[in-house]
Structure 1
Amino acid sequence: MTETILILGGSLAGLHVAHAILKKRSKNVKVIMVSKNSHFYMNLASVRAIVPGQIKDDELFTPIETALSRYPRESWDLIIGTAAHADFENKTVEIVVHDDSTTRTISYDQLVLATGSRSADPSMPWKASGSYKDAVASVHKTAEQVQAAQHIVVAGAGGTGIEVAGELGYEYGKTKNIVLLCSGDKLANGHGIATDAANELKKLNVAIKYGARVQKTQPTAQGKTDVVLSDGETITTDLYLPTIGLIPNTEYIPTPYCNSDPNSRTVLVDDYLRVRGAEDVWACGDIVGKPRAGFLITQAQAKTVAKNIEAALGGAKPSVHKGMPVDVFVCSVGRSRGVGRMNNSIKFPSLMVWAIKGRTLGLNYVEKYIGGSIA
């Protein structure tokens, strides 16, 4: 009997799980992947892609079908669409198909929730908030705006904000005004990299403004943007790049299966990454949100989910998700430097961070996700 594995999301987590299942069970399973984006987007490199001439589109985007087509055609299906409603009791999901806006109801035996998250400002390219065309357009538009601007404000001093400011500082620190707004008194919420990151950014002529919480923004008659801070100060800039806030894509999931935080409605899972209260439903990646959203965390969760689905198909018990053995946090700062730490105490040398992240910003993983060696 053919088992249907429905995977919602075609990014890091979803593609990892699909490869793991299809490599072991190309027969007697049907993997159906639903993705709003027809292309796999290595969004980790988006912070550098906004600098004109640094990264080509075909380095950032690869058709998901290229990844799946290495398996027997009858064992998989790809639907470009969006999950509208999940019914865990009846084991069905309603999908809005993008090509014709029709709604399909798909039944499953095992369900993987890997729909990730989006930027609070959907116009920003840090995440793929829409279709492939939308994502490409967002990268191109932002790069054009960066090239034209003489004054740029980056709001949000977490990992993405530090990396965006670092890329801009590396390329334009001597010719443009780059300002990074930090709502607190330290970068990265006071993590162990805060001081080192600030020092690296200063070397790139990035100005850091602490205690600067954005209250609102508004366009000016001259085509600029007024950034109004909570203390009443207004900064007028040519280009405003917010990196604040990730919104989990969980709107299709019924309320009882998510937490009650309106600002971060993540899905509730048990120790096996199984959705609490649901049968044969698993979740991984940004929609889980713990210990936080992150590339290495997503990889580890996807590995556990794939292993537990394999166990379920074989009638075995699931394994407890162990997570990362250590907590690692690294940020590139421009194209030649980086900062990082392990367990908030052991610092990594800048050259090491450059080698493991800053050199490629994840582009070296694209072939692994497309070719399947990631799983």
Structure 2
Amino acid sequence: MTKTVVILGGAYGGLHVAHALLKRANKDLKVILVSKSTHFYWNLASVRAIIPGQIKDEAIFKPLNGALSRYPAESWELIIGTATAADFEGKTVEVTLADKTTRTLSYDQLVLATGARSAADNTPWKGLDSYDETVKSLHETAARVKDAQHIVVAGAGSTGVEVAGELGYEYGKTKKIILLCSGEKILGGDSVAAAATSELKKLNVVIKYGARVAEAKTTPEGKTNVVLADGEAITTDLYLPTMGLVPNTEYIPDRHLSANPNYRTVNVDEYLRVRDAPGVWACGDVVSRPRAGFMITQKQAASVAKNVEAALAGREPLVARGLPVDIYACSVGRDRGAGRMNSIKLPSIMIWLAKGRNLGVPRAQGYVDGSVA
């Protein structure tokens, strides 16, 4: 009898799991991948893609249909839509399609990999509601970057620092680049903050500390008036907010979510199985444990794939394995970076080689050919 695995989310975690299952599948398995976009998006490079002429669309957007078409047609289905409801007891999920109709999917095993979205609307750091919308956001942002003489980047986490670094590398001598940091140190005070700060200063990026944004309004002239919590106002040609992620978990029943009202992630056990929901697994930013991150998502996806296979075969799951070391790497422009391995500081050249040189863009091909899994 054919078993059905439904995977919600066509980004890093979901596509990884799909490849892993389909590569080892027999004729009795059907994988249904649900994605809001027709394309896989290598959003790690979005910080550089906003610099005109640096990255072509086809390098960071890969058609999902092309990624799955290498497998027998009867073993998979790609559905473009958004999960809007889930019944874990009845083993069904409701998906709203692009034409606003709904479809109910039944499953034997379910994988939640719907990721997270940027807290600020219409920013390209994460995929938007469709491929077309995401590409449009990238192109419009790049056009505005080109025209702006004064740019404010709000939020000094990894994304904000990388955006400011890319802008500083390209325009630090010709445009005013300001990075707003709500605290006393960038990167949340991580031990690499001092090194990253030093690299940003070399790129002529001005860092403003204790600068929490209270309001940002567009002026009649097309500029943005950024008002800080202390009342100071900064008028800029281009405002790029990078702070905050929102897990895409609204379709999941409340009892399976964390109690934090500001960041509702999925409650999972040591196997990455959703608590009190047999046959349901989760990985990536919907889990955010120990934190949200690409490498963490990859490890979790590999564990989830193995445990789904075990469940289908009637075997017990294995404890999910995390990264053997805690690695933090932040690119700062096209030839600089800051990072650490556990508490050991890594030289800038190593971060450039590992990340900053190309922001991992060549690895996107692995999500097309399946080598990622």
C-alpha distance in 1, partners of 2:219/2:205?
24
Partner of 2:148: 149
Give 1:368's aligned residue: 366
Amino acid at match of 1:352: M
Are the equivalent residues in 2 in contact too, given 1:248–1:264 (CA < 8 A)? Answer: yes
Tell me the equivalent position of 2:294.
Answer: 295
1:310 & 1:122 partners in 2: Cα distance?
37
**Residue aligning to 2:254:** 255
SS in 1 for 2:285: coil
CA distance in 1, matches of 2:121, 2:205: 25
- Map 1:335-354; keep pairs closer than 5 Å: 335-343=334-342, 345-354=343-352
Q: State the distance in 2 between where 1:5 and 1:273 align.
A: 16
The answer to whether 1:201 aligns with 2:200 is: yes
Alignment correspondent of 2:223? 224
Give the Cα separation in 1 of the matches to 2:149 and 2:140. 16
Q: CA RMSD in A?
A: 0.7
Q: Give the letter aligned to residue 53 of structure 1.
A: G
Instruction: Write the distance in 1 (CA, Å) between the matches of 2:320 and 2:334.
Output: 35
Partner deviation per Cα, 1:204-263 (whole Å, 9 max, x = no partner): 000000111111111122211111111111111000000000000000000000012221
Residues 161-240 of structure 1: pairs in structure 2 closer than 5 A: 161-240=160-239
Correspondences of 1:48-87 after superposition (within 5 Å): 48-87=48-87
Kindly state the Cα deviation for residue 307 of structure 1 after the two structures are TM-superposed: 0.6
Correspondence list, 1:23-42, <5 A:
23-42=23-42
Letter in 1 for 2:271: Y
Deviation at 1:314, TM superposition (A): 1.3
Secondary structure, aligned partner of 1:317: coil
* Aligned: 1:88 with 2:88: yes
- Equivalent residue number for residue 13 of structure 1: 13
SS at match of 2:305: helix
The answer on whether the counterparts of 1:224 and 1:237 sit within 8 Å (CA) in structure 2 is yes
Q: Secondary structure at the match of 1:286?
A: helix
Which amino acid in 1 is paired with 2:50?
I
Deviates more, 1:294-303 or 1:356-365: 356-365
3-state secondary structure, aligned to 1:365: helix
> Larger deviation: 290-299 or 215-224?
215-224
Task: Write out per-residue CA displacement over residues 70-107 of structure 1, whole angstroms, 9 at most, x where no aligned residue.
Answer: 00000000000000100000000011111x22111100
Q: Which runs of 4+ in 1 moved over 6 A?
A: none
SS at match of 1:51: coil
Cα distance, 1:26 vs structure 2: 4.2
State how far apart, in whole Å, the 2-side matches of 1:76 and 1:308 are: 19
Shift of 1:357: 0.6
Q: Are residues 1:269 and 2:268 paired?
A: yes
Q: What residue number does 1:2 align with?
A: 2
Structure 1: how far apart are the matches of 2:220 and 2:25?
60
Distance in 2 between residues matched to 1:90 and 1:32, nearest whole Å = 18
The one-letter code of the counterpart of 1:310 is E
In the alignment, the residues of structure 2 paired with residue 28 and residue 347 of structure 1 have an alpha-carbon distance, to the nearest angstrom, of 49
From 351, 354, 362, give the equivalent of 1:356.
354
Please give the secondary structure, in 1, of the residue aligned with 2:275.
Answer: coil
The number of residue pairs the alignment matches comes to 373
Shift of 1:322: 2.3
Using the alignment, how far apart are the partners of 2:349 and 2:121 within structure 1?
A: 33
**Cα offsets for 1:127-178 (capped at 9, x unmatched):** 0021000000010010011001000000000100010000000000000000
* TM score, norm. by length of structure 2: 0.99
Distance in structure 2 (CA, Å) of the matches to 1:26 and 1:42: 30
Moved more, 237-246 or 354-363: 354-363
- Checking the alignment, whether the CA contact within 8 Å between 1:26 and 1:71 is kept in structure 2 is no
Match of residue 242 from structure 1: 241
Q: Which moved more, 1:217-226 or 1:177-186?
A: 217-226
What amino acid maps onto 1:354 in structure 2?
A: W
Q: Which amino acid aligns with 2:76?
A: W
